[in-house]
Amino acid sequence: MRAERIPQIIAAAMTVFAWGGFAQARMEDIAQEAGLSKATLYLYFASKEAIIAAILQSYFERGFDELAALDTSAQPVTQRLISWTRRRAQELQDNAAFLSIGFEFHALAARHASTREVVQGYYVRYRSALAALLAQAMEWGELENANADELAVVLISLLEGLTVLWMLNPAGLDLSGVAERAVHTLLNHPPANSQPVE
């Protein structure tokens, strides 16, 4: 029962949150979307906040499977990262409806340490995984030697930022193309190698 209800409620809540934001969404709406009664929600979640917290946990797991898959592929790292970029872009487009939830978590993270820690945890893992991969590629001579961690930060930032611009004008931005080309460049010319400018 629990194993069945909890994802059902989370899915319903995500739909409702995506449509109107955390604050505007009412427990009534979530219940309706889930096909349950309001009171039933409370059998599985102690509060609205608990639902948000549960979503927070799952929301930032997206893409980790794919990231993990990067490690085991046989292709050259550059190639792997490019196609991973493409997949991330695709996934973004598929889940566009839920983008607002991510931004709302950013806002929450900026305000509340507890949320911040969770979100940060995600980016740390993300960054570490990416950096490890890049470091390996450097070690293996596939990429120019550079600060792998900083490169990871730059790549992640780039994708995050593109997400914002794409959300604002999906038709006006070739998300995949721009991302791929920029990642390609950055892999070939890692920024940490460049001379700091004063």
Partner DNA sequence: TATGAATGAGGGTTCATTCAT
Partner DNA sequence: AATGAATGAACCCTCATTCAT
How many residues make contact with a copy of itself (CB under 8 A)?
Answer: 60
Within 8 A by CB and 6+ apart from 46, the residues are: none
Q: Which of 66/160 has CB closer to a copy of itself?
A: 160
Question: Which among DNA, a copy of itself, none contacts residue 5 (Cβ within 5 to 8 A by kind)?
Answer: DNA
By a kind-dependent CB cut-off of 5 to 8 A, residue 72 interacts, out of a copy of itself, DNA, none, with none
Q: Does 37 bind DNA (CB under 7 A)?
A: yes
Burial label for 134, CB within 10 Å (0-12, 13-18, 19+), is buried
Is the distance from CB of 147 to CB of 190 less than 8 angstroms? yes
In angstroms, give the least distance from the CB of 24 to DNA. Answer: 7
d(CA 101, CA 17): 7
Binding at 42: pick from a copy of itself, DNA, none (beta carbon under 5-8 Å per type): DNA
Q: Is position 26 an interface residue for DNA (rule: CB under 7 A)?
A: yes
5 near DNA, rule: CB under 7 A: yes
**Nearer to DNA among residue 1 and residue 168 (C-beta):** 1
SS3 69: helix
Residues 70, 106, 129, 132: which binds a copy of itself (CB under 8 A)?
106
| 67 vs 63: CA distance, rounded Å | 6
Sequence-distant (6+) residues with CB within 8 A of 117 are none
**What is the number of other CB atoms lying within 10 angstroms of the CB of residue 41?**
23
Computed on alpha carbons and rounded to an integer, the radius of gyration of the chain in Å comes to 19
Query: Least distance to DNA from the beta carbon of 1, Å?
Result: 3
Q: Which residues would be at the binding site for DNA (CB under 7 A)?
A: 1-2, 5, 24-28, 36-40, 42-43, 46-49
